[in-house]
Structure 1
Amino acid sequence: MTLSAGRGPWIWIGKQAVKQGSLKQWFKSGAPGIWMSGGAVAIAVIMTLGLISVIAVRGLAHFWPADVIEARYAVPGEAPRTIMGEVVQAEEVPLERLKGAGLPVPEDGPKFMTRELIKLGNRELNGSDFAWVVGDWLQDQKKPTDVIALERREWGNFYGYLINVKEDGKIVAEGEAAIPTLRERLDRISELADQIGQLEKVDIGGINYGLERLRLRERGLELDNALDATAQADLAAERSELEARYRTFEDQLVSLRQDFDRDSLTLRDATGRETEVRLANVVHAYQPNAMSTLQKLGFYFAKLWEFLSTDPREANTEGGVFPAIFGTVMMTLIMAVIVTPFGVIAAIYLREYAKQGPLTRLIRIAVNNLAGVPAIVYGVFGLGFFVYVLGGSIDQLFFRESLPSPTFGTPGLLWASLTLAILAVPVVIVATEEGLARIPRSVREGSLALGATKAETLWKVVLPMASPAMMTGLILAVARAAGEVAPLMLVGVVKLAPTLPVNLNYPYLHLDQKIMHLGFHIFDVGFQSPNVEAARPLVYATALLLVLIIAGLNLSAVAIRNRLREKYKALDS
């Protein structure tokens, strides 16, 4: 758009009228760079929000109790068969693709046909949980309200019709009375499972831990030539007490397991085959087609909480991710506690005490370059130095009785945290140095003029004013370290850790123990799972959870930084 004003034509750029003759000056003023920068930021924000939205939709939809369809699948040239399951995905595919899969598609039909991914369940009967079918060949689709979906501890889901409920092989309920009986006994199974878990992990686990400590103490006395008759008698008395408690808990466990394995139920699948399922193997039983929206919403949030608070099962493709959440947060917090003092001390030395010369400049260049070293290199360094050299030396000095089994000479929580600290310390050093450099020289001179020593000036004046910059470095360190996976696979993160590194056994925090991590969990479920289709939604859900945890840690640090910035704003000005 042009307009005449004064001596020559004008053009509109945004809301600004610029004379055509001065267009070159407008470019030289830097305004186009501002527009380009703003546009780039807007595009980056939109792409980030879009990515998070895709992850959230695909991940969170997994917990919704989808309806179960029953249909007759009639493939041209084959006998029709009845299938039952959840529709997971539908897409339009060209005929050439279906022909390449060996399907008898019509030559003169449409160019595209609908293909649907059905979660069939019933793995012991069908051989696989999922199957692709052509949607145009599904006939007489219906959603029976009496279809029951079982979520099991093993073998995935089962879809069918409930025939009866049995106790010790005898029918106790069938027909319409079977559903209330099933729910009642499933609640009982859930309580028994909690009691068995408490006995196995806490009570019996604690006794086994105590017996192992007794064995190590006996071995230590033997190495020190101090295993006399008195020591042997004391150890035998303690061992007898622990074994007596173990037998008591073992009897309780046997009794609970007998009750746990008592009930079963009989179901009929879509083809009419009957299958008996142990109720001890069932986690949830529900009728999705008969549930109202409110009931589905309650089930959805219960499943979401289960995902956050329980252990994984079925090769990590089912259940929750609580051990991975705990391991990620614990390792990140330990890393932050380690990296902050070392990074701050190094920055203080380089800025306040070191002689500014070629050597100092070389150290700064090295620190900046360390921030760009690939993460896997830090993992190799951590494995070679922390695990084998430092951990092996600690075992030789303090854990001789455990050898040749390593205690700290094997990957664990401590070495994973230290490796992440080494990876993130350059970021903290650079950010802290920049914060120290921004403190006005007059502030230091005023403190010294009032009689304070250099150390007092540094501790009481300079460091508090530079604390927002330190928090900025910590934020960047947490953001980088919490999402790293490659180095952790070498120094302490595993596919499945049976117990948490924090428990009631002395010393309560077990730094030598291996942990789970959300980043490695995503890699394992997404690329190492034997059941890819079942694992895919959990990959999205776990990725969203990892993003939220990192964002929560960062927001907490940002809040602390802003509070410190407001506190020392007057001094800075």
Structure 2
Amino acid sequence: MATAQQEIAAAMPKTLVAQDTRGVNAYIKSGAPYVWVTAAAISVAFIITLALLVLTATRGLPHFWPADLVQGRYQQPERDAESLLVEIRSAEEITTARLRDAGLAVTDDKPLHQRLLVKQANRDVNGVDFRYLLSDWLVERSEPADAVVLERTEWGNFHGFLAGIDEDGKPVDSGADLWALFQQRVDRANELRSKLRAIEKGRIGSINYAIERVRLDQRRLQLDGRTPENDPAAYAELDQRRKEQEAAYQGLRGELDLIKAELARDTVRVRTVDGSEVTLPLAKILDAYRPNAMNLLQKTGYFFHRLWKFVSEEPREANTEGGIFPAIFGTVLMVLLMSVVVMPFGVLAALYLREYARQGVVTQSIRIAVNNLAGVPSIVYGMFGLGFFVYFVGGNIDRALYSESLPAPTFGTPGILWSSLTLALLTLPVVIVATEEGLARIPRSLREASLALGATKAETLWRVVLPMASPAMMTGLILAIARAAGEVAPLMLVGVVKLAPSLPLDGDFPYLHLERKFMHLGFHIYDVGFQSPNVEAARPLVYATAFLLVLVILALNLTAISIRNRLRERYKALEG
């Protein structure tokens, strides 16, 4: 009896081990561990992406917050005291040994000191915008409520105190509230500046464009052998068009002179922190605010005001001031043009490979080549676009259609059309692969049912297969947009520039000017970050522009995803 019980007890652990082993194997075969590993990887990727967005936002968006101005006396050992009115941008701990190596006469024995990065502005007076200060040496600090920040069209910001307003060189009696009168004059100057810009960039720009068209039409007549002697009517028409445009220009010149005279009427006297007085024309002042006199609600409102100006205005001061609207516009327009080009070609290529091509070694070789194209460095596509699209195709278009403009190129130079085509080639493999995978998931029974009802193969593809594969096609477009919107290297060769004089889309016929160069958010980040002469002023703009680029890509992708989801819901019943 005891022996039987011992045998049973000895066999039980082996049975439990075997059961545990079978349970683990069944758990692994069920795929649940891989689901958890995949979920963990996605979570890590999401957290990293979110952390990147938070980093760019926290480094870039504070640039638009109206920070307080600190007035103080900077007392360095063995030097005269210096009066300052600065905006403290950041603080860091630095060792005493490093400060002494930099030539600062630090006499105390503290191992660490706090160093401040401050914006002192007044670059036309001080020579630099930013400087480093030792916190211990900035004494007698205060935050005067009447300290004012002036945003100017050139030389950056100005920090000081209002002293008076002059009109035609004579002081204006402001009464009790000089600040309110000054704000009224600034608003007036901004209105006049808007009118001036509307005339110069809009109406005069259209006149110059029309005059250039007259010149090119006359050049075309000469190339065709038509002279004023054998075709006086054509030349008379061109002369009449030129006179009309010149008369319109002279009328606008009178308006411009009046606006400029009104704009130059007012000046403001500003006292710096050291007591000197500077006279500034209001025509050069874009905005003004007193950060120390603002409460939290007012600062929040002004933050969004500056953020809107950053999004809606053009850049200034080597792209370190102003806004980035042309870069946003160019990025979105280029992506839209690229999408219009890449989708038809990608879908047609996938249709041929999946539905018409004989499956064999050649077809497999083509698929391998398409997959390998997705790994080619983007700069190679840029070189191809420059050589083929710009020099070959564009040069031949100029010789065939725009000979009157030669030797100045029209399409034989980098532009937004060639940039869009180059990026279409770059993203074409992604669209082909995604579309082909979608076509492969369509049940064969649906094709056979359509053919059995009398539809041709082309009708079956157009009315049954392609609509059901449209979610996969949109997935390819989403991936293409995500890659194309952030590319910079190829665009530097085929159309993007530091500052574009005009947008590719305007009110002049043919309205969409595909030959024009354009600005791009990715290249703007590179230019501001690595080519700017004012590094400290450019650094927050790099983060802000990068954050905005991510938002633009996210908006484009969300639009495509919403379309894809609607298509997926529409054809879900057929798929089931």
What's the TM-score, normalizing by structure 1?
0.95
One-letter code aligned to 1:198: A
Confirm or deny that 1:505 pairs with 2:508: yes
- Please report how far the alpha carbon of residue 381 of structure 1 lies from its aligned counterpart in structure 2 after TM superposition: 0.5
| Structure 1 unmatched ranges of 5 or more | 1-5, 10-17
Q: Taking structure 1 as reference, are residues 170 and 560 closer, same or farther at Cα in structure 2, changes over 3 Å only?
A: same
Alignment partner, residue 348 of structure 1: 351
Find the residue that maps to 1:186 and give its secondary structure. helix
| Structure 2 unmatched ranges of 5 or more | 1-10
One-letter code aligned to 1:295: Q
Alignment partner, residue 154 of structure 1: 154
Find the residue that maps to 2:270 and give its secondary structure. strand
- Please report how far the alpha carbon of residue 181 of structure 1 lies from its aligned counterpart in structure 2 after TM superposition: 1.9
Alignment partner, residue 455 of structure 1: 458
- Please report how far the alpha carbon of residue 58 of structure 1 lies from its aligned counterpart in structure 2 after TM superposition: 1.6
Q: Taking structure 1 as reference, are residues 118 and 19 closer, same or farther at Cα in structure 2, changes over 3 Å only?
A: farther
Confirm or deny that 1:483 pairs with 2:483: no
- Please report how far the alpha carbon of residue 177 of structure 1 lies from its aligned counterpart in structure 2 after TM superposition: 3.7
Aligned CA-pair RMSD: 1.9
Alpha-carbon deviations, 1:22-66, whole Å to 9, x = none? 797489556554444333322221111111011112211111111
Q: Taking structure 1 as reference, are residues 276 and 7 closer, same or farther at Cα in structure 2, changes over 3 Å only?
A: farther
In 1, distance between residues paired with 2:107 and 2:409?
A: 65
Deviates more, 1:359-368 or 1:97-106: 97-106
In 2, distance between residues paired with 1:26 and 1:106?
A: 73
Correspondence list, 1:300-449, <5 A: 300-449=303-452
Q: Taking structure 1 as reference, are residues 459 and 33 closer, same or farther at Cα in structure 2, changes over 3 Å only?
A: closer
One-letter code aligned to 2:575: D
Q: Taking structure 1 as reference, are residues 95 and 39 closer, same or farther at Cα in structure 2, changes over 3 Å only?
A: farther
One-letter code aligned to 1:216: L
Alignment partner, residue 238 of structure 2: 235
Confirm or deny that 1:519 pairs with 2:522: yes
Correspondence list, 1:161-240, <5 A: 161-173=161-173, 176-227=176-227, 228-240=231-243
One-letter code aligned to 2:135: G
Contact in 2 for aligned 1:163/1:175 (Cα 8 Å): no
- Please report how far the alpha carbon of residue 409 of structure 1 lies from its aligned counterpart in structure 2 after TM superposition: 0.3
Find the residue that maps to 1:460 and give its secondary structure. helix
1:540 to 530, 538, 543: 543
Confirm or deny that 1:72 pairs with 2:73: yes
Find the residue that maps to 2:172 and give its secondary structure. strand
Contact in 2 for aligned 1:493/1:515 (Cα 8 Å): yes
Q: Taking structure 1 as reference, are residues 7 and 165 closer, same or farther at Cα in structure 2, changes over 3 Å only?
A: farther
Find the residue that maps to 1:308 and give its secondary structure. helix
Aligned pair count reads: 560
- Please report how far the alpha carbon of residue 184 of structure 1 lies from its aligned counterpart in structure 2 after TM superposition: 1.1
Q: Taking structure 1 as reference, are residues 304 and 546 closer, same or farther at Cα in structure 2, changes over 3 Å only?
A: same
Alpha-carbon deviations, 1:384-419, whole Å to 9, x = none? 000000000000000010000000000011001101
In 1, distance between residues paired with 2:12 and 2:296?
A: 70
Alignment partner, residue 554 of structure 2: 551
In 2, distance between residues paired with 1:381 and 1:466?
A: 32
One-letter code aligned to 2:182: L
Alpha-carbon deviations, 1:404-456, whole Å to 9, x = none? 00000000110011011000111000000000111111111111111111111
Q: Taking structure 1 as reference, are residues 23 and 448 closer, same or farther at Cα in structure 2, changes over 3 Å only?
A: closer
Correspondence list, 1:218-297, <5 A: 218-227=218-227, 228-297=231-300
- Please report how far the alpha carbon of residue 76 of structure 1 lies from its aligned counterpart in structure 2 after TM superposition: 2.0
Alignment partner, residue 465 of structure 1: 468
Alignment partner, residue 100 of structure 1: 101
In 2, distance between residues paired with 1:193 and 1:535?
A: 26
Q: Taking structure 1 as reference, are residues 502 and 106 closer, same or farther at Cα in structure 2, changes over 3 Å only?
A: same
In 2, distance between residues paired with 1:19 and 1:364?
A: 47
One-letter code aligned to 1:248: G
- Please report how far the alpha carbon of residue 298 of structure 1 lies from its aligned counterpart in structure 2 after TM superposition: 1.5
Contact in 2 for aligned 1:173/1:181 (Cα 8 Å): no
Deviates more, 1:372-381 or 1:252-261: 252-261
Alpha-carbon deviations, 1:306-351, whole Å to 9, x = none? 1111111111111111111110000000100000000000000011
In 1, distance between residues paired with 2:523 and 2:563?
A: 29
In 2, distance between residues paired with 1:26 and 1:35?
A: 16
Contact in 2 for aligned 1:439/1:462 (Cα 8 Å): yes
Q: Taking structure 1 as reference, are residues 21 and 354 closer, same or farther at Cα in structure 2, changes over 3 Å only?
A: closer
One-letter code aligned to 2:396: S
Confirm or deny that 1:87 pairs with 2:81: no
One-letter code aligned to 2:360: G
One-letter code aligned to 2:316: R
- Please report how far the alpha carbon of residue 75 of structure 1 lies from its aligned counterpart in structure 2 after TM superposition: 1.4
In 2, distance between residues paired with 1:566 and 1:517?
A: 35
Alignment partner, residue 12 of structure 1: none
In 2, distance between residues paired with 1:369 and 1:254?
A: 61
What's the TM-score, normalizing by structure 2?
0.94
In 2, distance between residues paired with 1:74 and 1:32?
A: 65
Contact in 2 for aligned 1:163/1:174 (Cα 8 Å): no
- Please report how far the alpha carbon of residue 176 of structure 1 lies from its aligned counterpart in structure 2 after TM superposition: 4.7
In 1, distance between residues paired with 2:415 and 2:535?
A: 29
Between the aligned residues of both structures, percent identity stands at 58
Find the residue that maps to 1:91 and give its secondary structure. strand
